[in-house]
Amino acid sequence: MLIKNFQADSMHEAMKRVKQEFGTDAVILNSQVIEEKGVPGSKPKKRFEITAGKDVPTGSRMSGTHAPTARPESPRLSVEEKRLIGDVGLVIRRFEKELNYLVHTQKEIRALLKTPAEAKSLCAHLEVHDFEKDLIAQIFNDISGNSESTNDLEKIRAALLRNCVNPQPIKMFASGLNKAVFVGPPGSGKSALLSKIATNFVFKRGIRTTLVNMDDYQPFAGKSLSAYADILKIPCHDGPEWSEPRILDDFHVILADTKGIPIGAKDDLEELQAQLEKFSPDEIHLVLPAYCLWREASRWLEFFAPLGLTQIAVTFLDQTESFGLPFNLAGNKSHKLSYFSWGRNKASMVEEADLFSLSNKIFEKVEDFDVQFA
């Protein structure tokens, strides 16, 4: 990808330069305000800078000059057909459960046989952090033939990160808008995360942002989001009242909040799926709390999979002592992470998913190994 910085006296002029040189399909990587120092005692002159990239696929973005592609209507099934499909699905799920148990048992045996004797304590440490056993086996398998010592933590971290998919935060485009929806179980921190991201977009990056509330279950959810939008001085709409803008002169991000759905509430999931079909989001972020064990997280992933998840955000990293969940997601499962978040109230406690920094927390208290991380 070709990356270049564009500067101008206004954000609009900088965007115009991006479009002139890179076209309307340019990806906005960053935007910031730069103060240039002039004569002592005079007011600093402000310059606006946009970092943009060229040659990015446009399949997932919405263009302001093209109407969304109409979705074909799903065929209607009779009650008897639905019952038969449900029975078949139940048999398949039971078979999958038994098969997964056999596969998991085989992985544990293989991991135990492949693990070097001198690395048993390190494997136990990774298991305490709720690392998936198959991921642990893959890490040691990667370094077993390339290292004299399997206790070399730097090589282990390199192997761990090599198996992880690169993070993918919310994308920006030079034209059109990007609609990002946040879904997840109740209490996962969706609304707080959305508010933090909106604050970062508005105050730090100067990105045009709109909030949309699709949570029609909690009566005060819309008021809380609207109050926060008033603080940021940005628009906030209820889901049914929001209409997509037709003319877009700048990049624009729509952040939509949804109601928390407990596992097994299939009616609520189908209702949300119908809402998303009308909303036509470009990105769907599943929000999971960091204190969630991998066994439970796997159930959430399977439950929300019909929505077409594109990224996963991890919240409440300050409320856990095990940090294996993000690595399990980005490792063998190849899920794309978007954001990490701490706490609820501080807008600054959010960042693009940084697995390298998070890996330090896994080994910062290790005293029984040859190498320590800085």
The per-residue pLDDT for range 5-38, each reduced to its tens digit, is 888 888 778 888 888 888 877 887 777 777 776 6
Residues of the chain falling short of pLDDT 50: 58-66, 148, 150, 368-374
Place domain 177-363 in its CATH homologous superfamily.
Answer: P-loop containing nucleotide triphosphate hydrolases (3.40.50.300)
CA angle, residues 362, 363, 364, in degrees to nearest 5 = 105
How far apart CA 253 and CA 173 sit, in angstroms, is 9
* CA-based nearest residue to 327, from 129, 183, 170: 129
Instruction: At 99, list the tokens.
Output: 């098969």
* CA-based nearest residue to 259, from 242, 238, 278, 243: 238
H/E element, 84: helix 79-114
How far apart CA 23 and CA 25 sit, in angstroms, is 6
Query: Which pLDDT score is estimated for 20?
Result: 84
Q: How many Å from the N-terminal Cα to the C-terminal Cα in the chain? A: 32
The DSSP output letter for 243 is -
Here the contacts of 1-5 (C-beta below 8 Å, separation 24 or greater) are 1/27, 1/53, 1/54, 1/55, 1/56, 2/53, 2/54, 2/55, 3/29, 3/51, 3/52, 3/53, 3/54, 4/51, 4/52, 4/54, 5/49, 5/50, 5/51
- For 208, phi then psi, to 5°, come to -65, 125
Half-sphere exposure of 40 (CA within 13 A, CB side): 0
Residues in the chain: 374
Q: Which pLDDT tens digit goes with each residue over 170-195?
A: 988 776 788 999 999 998 999 889 99
